């Protein structure tokens, strides 16, 4: 018998249960890199409807504009039917934000100072994006160096529309350069 089969059999023998319900897997759908200044939006379009959930992972630096963090719009919808809540900490204090009837989901929380060159990373999960029977919810979290002070955030938002998401537009007054955004489909779970 192989060592792997022995290991799995031993794990099951110690009460670790079945390995039938493995964690979900991720498939890369699309990646976009921003290398020039002045970019204010990117769009992931023709999103396959075959996954359970979506995830966006990004890395960027602060841009020259304040409040340059990413915001989300779905299916080109610019109407005021989005809500957002954010919790932001810089290691010293905590601030909150709540926005209703806005034209996008606020997916981050930092207010950058013009000229900052600090990196920001984030993950945005979009649950049940293809379900045409419910509003769509996005949850994001991440952090940034922000002038060697550091900071973290949690944010959530809802798109008050039951349409399946077929495109995601990420907007900003001006993305930092370089920046990279990757869209993944999550199978299972």
Question: What digits encode the pLDDT tens for the residues 2-26?
Answer: 444 444 444 444 444 444 555 678 9
Q: Which of 129, 149, 115, 106 minimizes the C-alpha distance to 52?
A: 129
For residue 128, pLDDT beyond 90? yes
Mean pLDDT of the chain: 81
> Which of 19-33, 84-98, 163-177 shows the lowest per-residue confidence on average (mean pLDDT)?
19-33
Q: Which pLDDT score, from 0 to 100, does residue 1 have?
A: 44
109 found inside a domain:
yes
Phi/psi at 11 (5° precision): -60, -45
Q: Are strands 105-106 and 71-74 parallel, antiparallel or unpaired?
A: antiparallel
CA dist 163 and 91 (Å) reads 39
The gap between the terminal CA atoms of the chain, to the nearest Å, is: 32
Report which secondary-structure segment, H or E, holds 6: helix 3-13
Q: Which pLDDT score, from 0 to 100, does residue 74 have?
A: 98
Does pTM top 0.75 for this prediction?
yes
7 found inside a domain:
no
34 found inside a domain:
yes
Q: Which of 98, 109, 100, 97 minimizes the C-alpha distance to 81?
A: 100
12 found inside a domain:
no
Q: Which pLDDT score, from 0 to 100, does residue 115 have?
A: 55
106 found inside a domain:
yes
3 found inside a domain:
no
Question: What digits encode the pLDDT tens for the residues 150-164?
Answer: 778 899 999 999 999
6 found inside a domain:
no
Q: Which pLDDT score, from 0 to 100, does residue 42 have?
A: 93
Omega of the bond leading into 168 within 30 degrees of 0 (cis): no
Question: What digits encode the pLDDT tens for the residues 135-146?
Answer: 999 999 988 776
pLDDT band at 116 (very low <50, low <70, confident <90, very high): low
Structural domain that includes position 79: 24-187
Domain of 43: which CATH number? 2.60.120
CA dist 18 and 39 (Å) reads 48
11 found inside a domain:
no
Q: Which pLDDT score, from 0 to 100, does residue 11 have?
A: 43
Render 119-186 in DSSP notation, one character per residue.
Answer: EEEEEEEEETTT-TTS-EEEEEEEEE-TTTT-EEEEEEEEE---SPP--EEEE-SS--SSEEEEEEEE
CA dist 108 and 131 (Å) reads 25
A 10 A CB-CB count for 72 gives 23
For residue 45, pLDDT beyond 70? yes
Q: What angle do CA 24, 27, 33 make, to 5 degrees?
A: 135
Looking at the structure of the chain, the number of domains it has is 1
């Amino acid at each position: 018998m192989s060592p792997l089969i022995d290991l799995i059999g031993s794990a099951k023998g110690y009460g670790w249960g079945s390995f039938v319900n493995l964690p979900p897997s991720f498939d890369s759908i699309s990646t976009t890199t921003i290398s020039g200044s002045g970019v204010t939006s990117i769009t992931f379009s023709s999103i396959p409807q075959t996954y359970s959930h979506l995830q966006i992972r990004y890395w960027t630096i602060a841009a020259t504009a304040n409040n340059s963090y990413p915001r989300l719009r779905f299916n080109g919808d610019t109407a005021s039917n989005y809500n957002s809540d954010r919790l932001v900490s810089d290691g010293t204090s905590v601030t909150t934000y709540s926005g209703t009837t806005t034209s996008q989901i606020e997916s981050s929380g930092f207010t950058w100072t013009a000229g900052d060159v600090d990196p920001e990373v984030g993950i945005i999960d979009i649950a049940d994006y293809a379900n045409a029977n419910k509003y769509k919810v996005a949850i994001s979290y991440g952090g940034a160096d922000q002038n060697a002070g550091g900071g973290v955030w949690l944010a959530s938002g809802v798109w008050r529309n039951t349409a399946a998401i077929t495109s995601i537009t990420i907007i900003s007054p001006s993305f930092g350069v370089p920046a990279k955004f990757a869209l993944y489909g999550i199978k299972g779970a």
